[in-house]
Amino acid sequence: MDTNIESHLKETRVFQPSPAFAKKARIGSLTKYRRLYRESIAHPEKFWAREAKELTWQKPWNKVLEWKAPFAKWFVGGRLNVAENCLDRHLHGSRRNKAAIIWEGEPGEKRVLTYQQLHRDVCRFANVLKRNKIGKGDRVIIYLPTIPEAAIAMLACARIGAVHSVVFGGFSADSIRDRIADCGATAAITADGSYRRGAIVPLKHNVDEALKGKTSIKRVIVFRRAGNDIHIEEGRDVWWHRELEYVDANCPAVALDSEHPLYILYTSGSTGKPKGILHTTGGYLVGTHTTYKYVFDLRDEDIYWCTADVGWVTGHSYVVYGPLAAGATTFMYEGAPNWPEPDRFWRIIEEYAVSILYTAPTAIRTFIRWGDEWVKKHDLSSLRLLGSVGEPINPEAWMWYHKVIGGGRCPIVDTWWQTETGAIMITPLPGATPTKPGSATLPFFGIDAAVVDEKGREVGPNVGGKLIVRRPWPSMLRSIYGDRSRYKKQYWSEFKGSYFTSDGARRDKDGYFWIVGRIDDVLNVAGHRLGTSEIESALVSHPKVAEAAAVGRPDEIKGQGVVVFVTLKSGVTPTPNLKNELRSHVGTQIGAIAKPDEVRFAEALPKTRSGKIMRRLLKEIASGQTVTGDTTTLEDFNVLAKLGSAEE
Ligand code: 7RM
């Protein structure tokens, strides 16, 4: 039997980089990209060493890579400090007084921190950490809203060599407790509360709950954000602003080994407990800095806005570390996109003249659902580049992003990567790569990505298989915290010497990568293996559909039947007729084999906080089971409750 994933959806539109964009870009043609890519694969260490030299090293490395598969060390023997590279490095020239962070709170407050101010704030807060007996190697939980203090706390940890683990604001007390227990954190940094759709999320209260019973946490530092009443545990809790009264701004950056841990970030495993993905110092910084520079083709005058929460890896690599290492102005917004009205994002872009917008398909589909009139009210002509991350972007959502947000003028970089990869891996370069809606296009420099069959053999054009990376790269995870054997088993055991991503993909005749979904989610219908993304994209291309999730459920005859959960655009009424219409629509778009056995309308789909559809839960619902397994990363439990009785 053929075990490869089949592909049926053909997308033929191609968008060339505009000559004006290409002329100014670092990589201004596909030929130049291909030449550099070839060189970077022939001599990866040379490529990465050249990039690493753009950063400040307190001691140079003596070896670029030490690879004892599957354990890598990058820039061996080198010493550096991430905070020094993100801050001190920019204080000598004209960037000193450039905005590092521009922030807007949900209720509307505005703050600007220049590189000089941010440096001072980070140094002072690093001294607060020291005063509270937090030092090199200690694990610190950060549970904060998307406010400048989140970046300040992360950078302050980095400055003294403490290891941060950011937990999404909004995760429950249970998830905080699990993460503390797993990494043995001794301190937590939080806020009294944060704003979400006008309400206050009681962050400090959640931390209090998480610390009940036995805990390794000895100190909690509380930032006053929302002014809500909180409990202060004498001897354990201190106020951020009070602590600042005791410190000065003199805090030299500690010279850390290139492999010193920088952070642990938890991602949900499909079963079992969340995995603490471990990133270290030198390689991570080189990876995020290099990708940031080339993928967003940064200009000094850009205002760059990545809408990710700091609790997601995208918030680490492309709100904080990548942009600040590159001396960019990074914009942060605390709240919801529909507060007070569904045009908050467009209002922000107009007011601050944002030039680069990096957001997720889930957000784009939501905006489409809310209607174009919210966008049309605003002048978005400051935008010059758009980015997408987090899920495959459905071609119709790509087209909408291109036309309605980008005014047909902005390149779109659809960037594929993972918490584990630390930095962008497959992506267009905006001045070089012709784009195709729905494809993340080509691998970044130094990244040897391939699509293979069960035996690890590379498959031919348009044959689906497993996405792997055949050699180490600087920003790769170093381990799962405290579990080297799980690291080895999870990522490096399926294909010898290669990293297995858990994603399915195909490459087209031009070598472009198309991610077809997670391998665990692949459907098996009468011997045909179908990725989720094509069925979902076919549904999203129907004018009445906003969002769709395809899952399999046991079927006596076919092995699996296809069940799709669909949310409709505002104002569309769900009817039995529409269900039939959608079934035939998938039939014509993809073929009879992918035709859903059942269409279920839903008000909303269950998602993670970073907006990924949780198909695992839908699969259980579709087959009539109760939902089991890890739901700690679910964004909104109400969605799940409503889906149980999903029929209209
Ligand atoms: C950055 C991030 C990783 C998983 C990954 C994919 C999916 C992310 C894209 C994408 C298609 C993309 N880290 N994914 N980006 N799929 N096209 N551009 O999302 O650890 O939270 O998730 O997300 O399945 O394996 S993550």
Global confidence as pTM: 0.95
DSSP annotation string for 424-446: --B---TTT--B-TT--BSBPTT
pLDDT in tens, 361-404: 999 999 999 999 999 999 999 999 999 999 999 999 999 999 99
Residue among 443, 477, 514 nearest 47 (CA): 443
pLDDT in tens, 304-363: 999 999 999 999 999 999 999 999 999 999 999 999 999 999 999 999 999 999 999 999
pLDDT in tens, 551-593: 999 988 888 999 999 999 989 999 999 999 999 999 999 888 8
Report the Cα 268 to chain-centroid distance in Å.
13
Residue among 174, 181, 333, 173 nearest 165 (CA): 181
Q: How far, in Å, CA of 244 to CA of 360, rounded?
A: 36
Find the helix packing angle between 148-160 and 115-131, rounded to 10°: 60
Mean pLDDT computed over every residue of the chain: 94
Q: How far, in Å, CA of 176 to CA of 449, rounded?
A: 35
pLDDT in tens, 149-191: 999 999 999 999 999 999 998 788 999 999 999 999 999 999 9
Residue 322 Cα, ligand 1 centroid: separation in angstroms? 18
pLDDT in tens, 39-68: 999 999 999 999 999 999 999 999 999 999
Which atom of ligand 1 is nearest to 502's Cα? 25
Which atom of ligand 1 is nearest to 420's Cα? 20
Confidence of residue 272 (pLDDT cuts 50, 70, 90): low
Q: Cβ < 6 Å from ligand 1: which residues?
A: 267, 313-314, 389-392, 414-419, 440, 501, 503, 515, 518, 610
pLDDT in tens, 599-619: 999 999 998 888 899 998 899
547, pLDDT greater than 60:
yes
CB 350 within 8 A of CB 303: no
Write down the pLDDT at residue 591: 87
For 186, list phi and psi in degrees, rounded to 5.
-110, -10
What domains are there in the chain, each with its CATH number? 522-645 (3.30.300.30)
421, pLDDT greater than 70:
yes
For 311, list phi and psi in degrees, rounded to 5.
-75, -5
Q: How far, in Å, CA of 539 to CA of 396, rounded?
A: 10
Residue 379 Cα, ligand 1 centroid: separation in angstroms? 30
Mutate which of 306, 362, 391 for ligand 1 pocket (most atoms within 8 A of beta carbon): 391
Angle at 633 between CA 228 and CA 369, to 5 degrees: 85
Measured by CA distance, the residue closest to atom 26 of ligand 1 is: 418
Mutate which of 279, 502, 612, 615 for ligand 1 pocket (most atoms within 8 A of beta carbon): 612
Residue 415 Cα, ligand 1 centroid: separation in angstroms? 8
Residue 517 Cα, ligand 1 centroid: separation in angstroms? 9
Residue among 522, 550, 389, 392 nearest 465 (CA): 522
Which atom of ligand 1 is nearest to 427's Cα? 18
2, pLDDT greater than 60:
no
State the alpha helices, DSSP H only, in 450-600: 484-492, 532-540, 576-589
Average pLDDT for 214-242 = 98
Average pLDDT for 620-635 = 75
Find the helix packing angle between 532-540 and 576-589, rounded to 10°: 120
Write down the pLDDT at residue 10: 79
Q: Strand (E) positions, 231-293?
A: 237-239, 256-257, 261-267, 275-280
Q: How far, in Å, CA of 436 to CA of 259, rounded?
A: 38
pLDDT in tens, 118-132: 999 999 999 999 999
HEC string for 559-614: EEEEEEEEEECCCCCCCHHHHHHHHHHHHHHCCHHHCCCEEEECCCCCEECCCCEC
Q: How far, in Å, CA of 9 to CA of 262, rounded?
A: 41
- Environment class of residue 361 by beta-carbon count within 10 Å: exposed (0-12), middle (13-18) or buried (19+)? buried
- Give the C-alpha distances (Å, rounded to integers) separating 58 from 53, 136, 152, 322: 12, 17, 22, 19
Average pLDDT for 509-514 = 97
Angle at 371 between CA 366 and CA 375, to 5 degrees: 95
Per-residue tokens: 491:
């990522």
